[in-house]
Structure 1
Amino acid sequence: MSKLLYSVTMSADGFIAGPGGDMSWLVPHLGPNPLADDLVGRIGALLVGHRTFRGDDPNEGTEKEGAFEGAWQGPQIVLTHHIPDTPVPGVEFAGNLPDAVAAAKAAAGGKYVNVLGADVARQCLEAGVLDEVLTMVAPVFLGDGVRLFEHPGGTNVRLDRLSVGHAPHAVNIWYRVPG
């Protein structure tokens, strides 16, 4: 059965995008990461938030455009309240989280569903359907932007560390979300 994995590169101060969703900060911190490279083949589908789907790709217009610097190709399920009138090849749109999760798991074929987008990841966590979190921490402070996880008023979410590893441009920390 497919697991939901929130994998993301974040700054050392906990931001996954800069102000306004800017992703240009990420480019100097991309590079060889054996864990991320291996993960690409273990992903069967993407579950993507609307802002991430419509957002800023620092590699737009290059051969590295898309998820995992263009290395991943496959089905994408976009969770949105704004389903477009015109179909997008390879993309399915869902108007609510249960339908989006069900469609992504079906499309993943037993592989990981990779969650992209802080808000959709938060929704998955709150619904109890997020299984794992992989943070690739880049050596940079952004100071502002989109946080890895935000819950107004605060909350404690316990995570069990599965592994910690190093790559030339990041520290990889993989967690399991306890049931």
Structure 2
Amino acid sequence: MATMLYSATMSLDGFIAGPGGDMSWLTEHLGPNPTVDALVGDIGALLVGNRTFRGDDPYRDTPQEGEPFGGGWSGPQFVLTHDVPAAPVPGVTFVTDFGAAVAAAKSAAGDKYVNVLGADVAAQCLDAGLLDEILVCVAPVMLGDGVRLFSHPGGDRVRLERIGLTHVPHATNIWMRVVR
């Protein structure tokens, strides 16, 4: 059965995107990361939020633009959206129902990871008790504003257990298990 993993690079002050969804800040923090490089081969499918799928790309104006993990991964992508585009996108399935999107991604992933991309979809997975692990690559920068890694108005405590901690020059990787 697939493991549901939320992964993101985050600023030290907790943002995965800058104001307006800006991802340009991330470009200088991309680079070799053995933890992420090893993970990519274990991902069977992506479950992606609409804002993340249609959003800013840190690989903009490069050959890797629009490619998951800068072109380091290929496979089935399931985008959760209320606005299915008229034209199909190769390798991407647009799904309007959360449960159906999760089921399709898990089925496609088999025994590998379903990598969740996007704060809103990750929060939905947490609320539904479906998220198993979280990998955060903390970049040495503070953005001051933007899209938070996790936000739950009124507060919501999520218990986590650290299962890995590694350092690379441009990030500190923290791998956590969601404690149920």
- Give the TM-score of the pair, scaled to structure 2: 0.97
Q: 2:77: which partner in 1?
A: 76
- State the partner residue of 1:95: 96
Match of 1:161 in 2: 162
- State the partner residue of 2:5: 5
- Residue of structure 2 in register with 1:126 after alignment: 127
User: Whole-Å Cα distance in 2 between the matches of residues 165 and 11 of structure 1?
Assistant: 16
Following the alignment from structure 1 to structure 2, what is the Cα–Cα distance between the partners of residues 22 and 107? 30
Alignment pair present for 1:86 and 2:87? yes
| 1:77-133 CA distance string (max 9 Å, x none) | 000111122211111111121100000011112210000000000000000000000
2:125 matches 1:117 = no
- Paired with 2:52 and 2:11, the residues of 1 have a C-alpha distance of 17
**Residues 32 and 168 in structure 1, CA contact (< 8 A), matched pair in contact too:** no
Deviation per residue, 1:39-92 (Å, 9 max, x gap) = 110001100000001001121342222221211111100001111222111111
2-structure distance, mates of 1:131, 1:81: 25
Contact 1:43 1:111 (C-alpha < 8 Å) held by counterparts: yes
Alpha-carbon deviation of 1:153?
Answer: 1.1
Structure 2: 5+ residue stretches without partners: none
Write the letter of the residue equivalent to 2:47: L
* Structure 2 equivalent of residue 176 of structure 1: 177
CA distance in 1, matches of 2:106, 2:129: 15
Aligned letter for 2:96?
G
Amino acid at match of 1:24: S
Task: Name the amino acid aligned to 2:146.
Answer: G
How high is the TM-score relative to the length of structure 1?
Answer: 0.97
Percent identity between the two aligned chains: 69
- SS of corresponding position for 2:68: coil
SS of aligned partner of 1:153 = coil
Q: CA RMSD in A?
A: 0.9
